Structure 1
Amino acid sequence: MSRLERTMNRYRSLRCSGIADELQELVAHAEANAVSYLDFAEQLAEREQQVRERKRLAGNRKRAQLPPGKQLEDFDYRHQTTITKRQVHALLDFGFIDNRQNLVFIGPPGVGKTHLAVGIADKALDAGYKVLFRNALELVEELELAEMKGELKKKIAQLTRFDLLVIDELGYLPMSRQARYTLFQLVHAFYEYRSLILTTNKDFTDWGEFFHHDNVAVPIIDRVIHHSSIYMLGGESYRLREKTTAG
């Protein structure tokens, strides 16, 4: 085994794979350009940081579980005129995440609510934030299962490790009393601590319908809309338009 290979193995044992993988190239560049010891040490550290950052972002993206094919660049503002490109781009400094605020997109099915939510979440991942996407029904089922196991607090603690939680399609189906309880626990845990993006087909005045007028509806709404930006989307369904066009 050569000296270079032994050194590379030492870096790997120290979990510096970024340096190990590119050490031969870095050494050759340093020798060819008479790089000083300090500059070489800086290059090693910089390369390792770059590799670790790429791995961190890739890991965040995998854990986020965003549905594919919903980039902001593909959003059709010509069709969805109730929100502007300027309004959406103003959110991409992610001050709402830094300030623990929420975004709520309200509108009928097919008008682009999920596309906007996922597109913004995708940009948040690029900016280094930890994001998780969940369909509302799936999320409630996860919370109910955790409650049955006596692990609701543990499950909510896991969710609050994310900087941003996207809850999609809230309100499409009525919720049981247990589901309402677990959802309240989650919203309460996120309140002024982490950020939510919600998409829903119901205005807040109609939330009592799928909460069965339960008293928990009011505190959930209160915590969601406090420190929130709310966007009412209208217009014709994208999916209906595409089907009509195809026909």
Structure 2
Amino acid sequence: MGTLELTTGRYRSLRLGAIADDLTDLLRQAEANEVSYLMFADMLAEHERASREARRIELNRRQARFPADKRLEAFDYRHQTTITKRQVKALLDFAFLDNRENLVFIGPPGVGKTHLAIGIGQHAVEAGYKVRFKNALDLVEELELAEMKGELKKKLTQLAKVDALVIDELGYLPMSRAARYALFQLINRFYEYRSLIVTTNKDFTQWGEFFHDDNVAVPIIDRIIHHSHLYMLGGESYRLKQKTLS
């Protein structure tokens, strides 16, 4: 076995897989640039660190389960009348995540609420945060099922492992009593502990309609908006605009 193979094997045994995989190229770069021993040692360490970070981000992206690859760079602000690019970019320092604050996008269908939620979520993942996307109906079904099995506490603990939970399309259909209870438990668990990114077509004054109970709606609303950034989205429907142009 040659020296290169032996050295590669040693790196691999130390679980420095990125260095082991790319050692030949790293040596070639070092020789071409005539780097010092110290610089080469730093090259190896940085290569391993960057590779691990990239793998971690990709894993977090898969675990986020975004339903589509929506990017903020592709968001068309020309159809919006109530939110600006500057406002959205200001959120990308992620102080709202560090401060356990929520984002709430309110507006009619088709104005880009989900696009913004996913786009911000994508940037959060790339910045090293853990995000999970859930359609509201699917989430409520999961919570109800967990409650029936006596596993709601366990389910809430799993969901709370992320830095931000995206709840998309909250309020499109009325909720049963069990669903209201389960959702309240989730909101209460996240309150001042983790962040929520919520999209809804209902103004808060209408939440009693789909909760069928203002006594439930009020404490849920209170916990969502206490530490939150609220955005009322207007403008022309993206989907209607695209259909008109096609």
Short-chain TM bin: over 0.9
Q: Which residue pairs with 1:202 in the alignment? A: 202
Give the deviation of 1:236 after TM superposition: 2.8
Matched, 1:139 2:139: yes
| Distance change >3 Å, CA 179–CA 30, structure 1 → 2 | same
How many residue pairs get matched?
A: 246
Give the deviation of 1:214 after TM superposition: 5.1
TM-score (norm 1): 0.93
| Distance change >3 Å, CA 77–CA 35, structure 1 → 2 | closer
Could you tell me which runs of 5 or more consecutive residues in structure 2 were left unpaired when the two chains were aligned: none
Q: In structure 1, what is the Cα distance between the partners aligned to 2:199 and 2:65?
A: 17
Q: Which residue pairs with 1:118 in the alignment? A: 118
Give the deviation of 1:35 after TM superposition: 4.4
Could you tell me which runs of 5 or more consecutive residues in structure 1 were left unpaired when the two chains were aligned: none
Give the deviation of 1:82 after TM superposition: 1.5
Q: In structure 1, what is the Cα distance between the partners aligned to 2:27 and 2:83?
A: 53
Q: In structure 2, what is the Cα distance between the partners aligned to 1:33 and 1:104?
A: 51
TM-score (norm 2): 0.94
Q: Which residue pairs with 2:154 in the alignment? A: 154
SS in 1 for 2:144: helix
Give the deviation of 1:90 after TM superposition: 1.2
Question: What does 1:84-123 align with in structure 2 at a 5 Å threshold?
Answer: 84-123=84-123
Q: In structure 1, what is the Cα distance between the partners aligned to 2:55 and 2:43?
A: 18
Give the deviation of 1:224 after TM superposition: 0.1
Structure 2 residue identity aligned to 1:131 = V
Q: In structure 2, what is the Cα distance between the partners aligned to 1:231 and 1:209?
A: 21
SS in 2 for 1:105: strand
Q: In structure 1, what is the Cα distance between the partners aligned to 2:233 and 2:25?
A: 53
Matched, 1:19 2:19: yes
Q: In structure 1, what is the Cα distance between the partners aligned to 2:93 and 2:34?
A: 42
Q: Could you report, residue by residue, the CA deviation over 1:61-114 in whole angstroms, capped at 9, with x for unpaired residues?
A: 111111224211111111112111111111111111111100101111111111
Q: Which residue pairs with 1:2 in the alignment? A: 2
Give the deviation of 1:34 after TM superposition: 5.6
Q: Which residue pairs with 2:130 in the alignment? A: 130
Q: In structure 1, what is the Cα distance between the partners aligned to 2:25 and 2:241?
A: 54
Question: What does 1:45-84 align with in structure 2 at a 5 Å threshold?
Answer: 45-84=45-84
Give the deviation of 1:23 after TM superposition: 1.6
Q: Which residue pairs with 1:172 in the alignment? A: 172
| Distance change >3 Å, CA 240–CA 35, structure 1 → 2 | closer
Give the deviation of 1:36 after TM superposition: 4.1
Q: Could you report, residue by residue, the CA deviation over 1:7-34 in whole angstroms, capped at 9, with x for unpaired residues?
A: 2122222221111111222334445666
Q: In structure 2, what is the Cα distance between the partners aligned to 1:25 and 1:70?
A: 35
Q: In structure 1, what is the Cα distance between the partners aligned to 2:143 and 2:132?
A: 15
Q: In structure 2, what is the Cα distance between the partners aligned to 1:27 and 1:108?
A: 57
Structure 2 residue identity aligned to 1:27 = L
SS in 1 for 2:133: strand
Q: Which residue pairs with 1:227 in the alignment? A: 227
